[in-house]
Amino acid sequence: MGEERTTRFAVMGAGGVGGYFGARLAEAGYPVAVIARGDHLRAIRERGIVVNSPSGDVTFKPTIATDDAGAIGPVDAVLFAVKLYDVEEAANAIRPLLGAETMVLALQNGVDAAERIAPIVGEDRVIGGATYIFATIDAPGVIRHMGGLARIVFGELDGHASARTEKLLACMQAAHIDADLSTNITAELWRKFVILASMSAITCLARLPYGPIVGDPESLALCETAMREVEAVARARNVALAADVVAQHMTAIGRYGPDVNTSMYRDLVGGRRMEVEHLSGAVARLGEESGVDTPFHRAAYALLKLYADGPPSLVS
């Protein structure tokens, strides 16, 4: 595996997802550059990225930490891990990272990031990815992984097997990252979207983590209702989901720790921008396009979009 260690990575958006997986790749000996901004970037330049995780703590100093991709130059693979509302701006910003064979691994929530990135960086560069991890920025330069999952599933957008995704998988495995290839990444993204859009909305509306929600029969039933709406939209769009996809997710949420929450919940309570436009908002819009009624997600979007840009100003 020594040769694969020469694969050059850049992380665009070194938050919970990008920071964690970038750190694991660096720990395995891969050159990893980081694009970040503000206090987070200043802390990374001073101390590196610190990851606190039940799977093992790690601190790494990126080969370059910058807010300008031009300072890095072309790399072999970009872990594209910005928030959904920053996709287009960030995709334009990574142009200096793009060499002749650079892969851009889209690791966003939602189901439309890859198709939004593709016109900017080139469809042939984009690889779809779904992450399963509970991680967040605990303080500037510090990533906290809350344990449990730390998994990536990725694949070519058209489902074909490729040498480049096999190479990327080998890098992930060498870094002891739980990773797998998918021949239907669209279905994988929708599978995640069923639980993600639903639990993001419910934790935000309740202002609570999973524990109290799952422990209340009526709230738990609402989780299933929300997931059924997303499933119905996916099936109307001919996405091949498992027949028991909702049952799988309902079992899963009962197994998570009581303090587990969602990234959108953390953004809400932290007074930051939220991805609601691309979560419940997307469910509502795609449902309307597909002739599927989504009353829960329409209501969730109508209420939560008031906080989409942070706490609303109250006029007396």
Interatomic CA distance for residues 277 and 256, integer angstroms: 26
The residue segments making up the domain with residue 202 are 187-307
Q: What is the DSSP string of 149-189?
A: EEEEEEEETT----HHHHHHHHHHHHTT-EEEE-S-HHHHH
Which is higher by pLDDT, 258 or 206?
206
Checking if the pLDDT of 1 tops 70, the result is: no
**Same-domain pairing of 88 and 154:** yes
User: What is the predicted pLDDT for the residue at 149?
Assistant: 87
Model confidence over 244-303: pLDDT tens digits?
A: 999 999 999 998 889 989 999 999 999 999 999 999 999 999 999 999 999 999 999 999
User: What is the predicted pLDDT for the residue at 315?
Assistant: 57
**Same-domain pairing of 64 and 169:** yes
> What's CA 216's distance to the chain center, in Å?
28
Model confidence over 174-192: pLDDT tens digits?
A: 999 999 999 999 999 999 9
Residue 315 lies in a domain: no
User: What is the predicted pLDDT for the residue at 108?
Assistant: 96
**Same-domain pairing of 105 and 16:** yes
**Same-domain pairing of 152 and 33:** yes
Among 183, 218, 243, the domain-final residue is 183
Interatomic CA distance for residues 114 and 126, integer angstroms: 7
Residue 284 lies in a domain: yes
Interatomic CA distance for residues 145 and 133, integer angstroms: 8
> What's CA 122's distance to the chain center, in Å?
21
Residue 2's pLDDT band (boundaries 50, 70, 90)? very low
| Domains: count for the chain | 2
Residue 299 lies in a domain: yes
Among 166, 183, 200, the domain-final residue is 183
Model confidence over 225-240: pLDDT tens digits?
A: 999 999 999 999 999 9
**CA 58 → CA 2, 126, 157, 274, 302, distances in Å?**
21, 29, 32, 29, 41
**Same-domain pairing of 154 and 32:** yes
Checking if the pLDDT of 138 tops 70, the result is: yes
How open is the CA angle 180-257-136, to the nearest 5 degrees? Answer: 65
Dihedral in degrees, nearest 10, Cα atoms 249, 254, 256, 257:
160
Residue 316 lies in a domain: no
Residue 20's pLDDT band (boundaries 50, 70, 90)? very high
Q: Which of 182, 210, 217, 215 is nearest to 196 (CA)?
A: 210
**Same-domain pairing of 53 and 194:** no
Residue 312 lies in a domain: no
Checking if the pLDDT of 166 tops 90, the result is: yes
Checking if the pLDDT of 147 tops 80, the result is: no
**Same-domain pairing of 178 and 238:** no
Residue 68 lies in a domain: yes
**Same-domain pairing of 192 and 131:** no
**Same-domain pairing of 155 and 104:** yes
Please give the helix or strand (H or E) that residue 39 lies within, else none.
Answer: helix 38-47
**Same-domain pairing of 158 and 294:** no
**Same-domain pairing of 213 and 295:** yes
User: What is the predicted pLDDT for the residue at 102?
Assistant: 98
**Same-domain pairing of 12 and 154:** yes
Model confidence over 48-84: pLDDT tens digits?
A: 999 999 999 999 999 999 999 999 999 999 999 999 9
Among 119, 154, 183, the domain-final residue is 183
Checking if the pLDDT of 313 tops 80, the result is: no
Residue 38 lies in a domain: yes
User: What is the predicted pLDDT for the residue at 5?
Assistant: 82
Pairing, β 126-139 against β 142-156 = antiparallel
The structure's pTM equals 0.93
Q: What does the block give as tokens for 151?
A: 């998994």
> What CATH number has the domain bearing residue 236?
1.10.1040.10
> What CATH number has the domain bearing residue 85?
3.40.50.720
Q: Which of 74, 76, 63, 67 is nearest to 31 (CA)?
A: 63
